[in-house]
Amino acid sequence: MDTIASCSALIDRFGRRVSYLRLSVTDRCDLRCSYCMPKGFKGFEEPGNWLRFEEITRVVAAFSRMGVGRVRLTGGEPLLRRGLPQLVSQLAALPEVQDISLSTNATQLQKHANSLRAAGVRRINVSLDSLDRACMEKITGRDSLAGIMAGLQAGKQAGFDPIKLNMVVMRGVNDHEIARMAQFCFDEGFILRLIEAMPMGDTGRNSQYQDIGPLREQLVRQFDLLPSAAELGGGPARYWETRDGKGKLGFISPISQHFCASCNRVRMAVDGTLYMCLGQEQKFELRPLLRAGIGDAELEQAIRAAIELKPERHEFNERRQQIVRFMSQTGG
């Protein structure tokens, strides 16, 4: 394997610097959230096509040499991938990787929180769409709330900071719970982020989309919130905070107020496919190159070629039917 010196930053055709890699380690999940994966879905990737830990580390090392310092582990549910702390340790040892975070549904977090924290994960995002047991069972397909709550407490005790709760807002499903969820997060020291459902696959298109703009105005008034200048992870959320600065709310509005002009990320699926945009089909497959013995210099060239495919913006509003893959297949 050849070695090379650090290279210049990854800049796409539209002048955006790519500094953030979202990395799926599995497409499996122990839940079936209604907006993410359909019930009875069987089209999972064969384990033989999953990138091995050493292959993932090579790809992340290549990205990091080109200025990508943030890595988020996603799925499916990433805690279903055996030996995940080992991968985290390998990534944390890369000198250019500055931040390793994790997106999880937290059902398995109670078992793994301490080992992940020790390996190098510092921040976690937890999917939690309701505080009502029956509602969560309807959304996730199983009685999941107690396990998630136990995972959240384990995450706090392990020292993850911040812990963000991601709530996909669905009209007529959980939109009546938003104020309650906000107060829960203020009380527990979590950061709530309200997210608009994206029309990915039939599951995403069938979720009850809710524009979060009016909800933001309502919450700003109710909790006397102020715009926040805090940079919390390099993502697209726009934050507001309580007057004492102790409570924060984030709003992610990919449909009603897209943030494509500042998009700084790409996603890699568990099989090594790079996806340039959630709302477009451009992709680049790295696994065949890795298993053919590609060198480091050629791997960086391949990644740069992939970045050239990154589109200017999604077309969720104009072409809602075009993305047939589910969110779980892309990497959250």
pLDDT digits (tens, 9 = 90+) for 170-190: 999 999 999 999 999 999 999
Residue 309 lies in a domain: yes
Q: Where are the alpha helices (DSSP H) in the chain?
A: 53-65, 84-92, 109-119, 133-140, 145-158, 178-188, 201-206, 213-223, 287-291, 296-307, 327-330
The residue among 167, 25, 5, 11 whose CA lies nearest residue 100 is: 25
Predicted TM-score of the model (pTM): 0.89
The pLDDT-based confidence of 205 (bands split at 50, 70, 90) is very low
Query: Are the C-beta atoms of 77 and 26 separated by less than 8 Å?
Result: yes
The pLDDT-based confidence of 328 (bands split at 50, 70, 90) is low
Residue 176 lies in a domain: yes
Residue 8 lies in a domain: no
Q: How many domains does the chain have?
A: 1
Q: Half-sphere exposure of residue 103, counting CA atoms within 13 Å on the CB side?
A: 25
Task: Return d(Cα 69, Cα 100) in angstroms, integer.
Answer: 9
What is the Cα gyration radius of the chain? 19
Residue 194 lies in a domain: yes
Output the pLDDT for position 5. 42
Query: Are the C-beta atoms of 248 and 237 separated by less than 8 Å?
Result: no
Could you tell me the maximum CA-CA distance found in the chain, to the nearest angstrom? 58
Output the pLDDT for position 326. 57
Is the pLDDT at 154 greater than 60? The verdict is yes
The pLDDT-based confidence of 257 (bands split at 50, 70, 90) is low
Is the pLDDT at 87 greater than 50? The verdict is yes
Is the pLDDT at 58 greater than 80? The verdict is yes
Inter-axis angle of helices 213-223 and 178-188, to 10 degrees?
A: 50
Is the pLDDT at 2 greater than 50? The verdict is no
Is the pLDDT at 6 greater than 70? The verdict is no
Domain that includes residue 75, residue range: 20-330
Query: Are the C-beta atoms of 191 and 185 separated by less than 8 Å?
Result: yes
Output the pLDDT for position 229. 81
Output the pLDDT for position 313. 74
Q: What is the mean pLDDT of the chain?
A: 89
Output the pLDDT for position 13. 94
**Other C-beta atoms within 10 Å of 152: how many?**
22
64-73 pLDDT per residue, tens: 999 999 999 9
90: domain CATH number is 3.20.20.70
Residue 9 lies in a domain: no
Amino acid at 113: A
94-122 pLDDT per residue, tens: 999 999 999 999 999 999 999 999 999 99
Dihedral sign, Cα of residue 11, residue 122, residue 82, residue 323: negative
Output the pLDDT for position 254. 67
Task: Return d(Cα 55, Cα 199) in angstroms, integer.
Answer: 31
Residue 4 lies in a domain: no
Q: Half-sphere exposure of residue 126, counting CA atoms within 13 Å on the CB side?
A: 30
Strand partners, 127: 166
Cis bond leading into 254, ω under 30°? no
The residue among 125, 93, 291 whose CA lies nearest residue 193 is: 125
Query: Are the C-beta atoms of 25 and 82 separated by less than 8 Å?
Result: no
Residue 323 lies in a domain: yes
- For the segment 137-146, the average pLDDT, to the nearest whole number, is 96
The pLDDT-based confidence of 294 (bands split at 50, 70, 90) is very high
Is the pLDDT at 201 greater than 50? The verdict is no
Please tell me what DSSP assigns to residue 176. Answer: G
Residue 15 lies in a domain: no
Output the pLDDT for position 308. 95
Q: What length is written for the chain?
A: 332
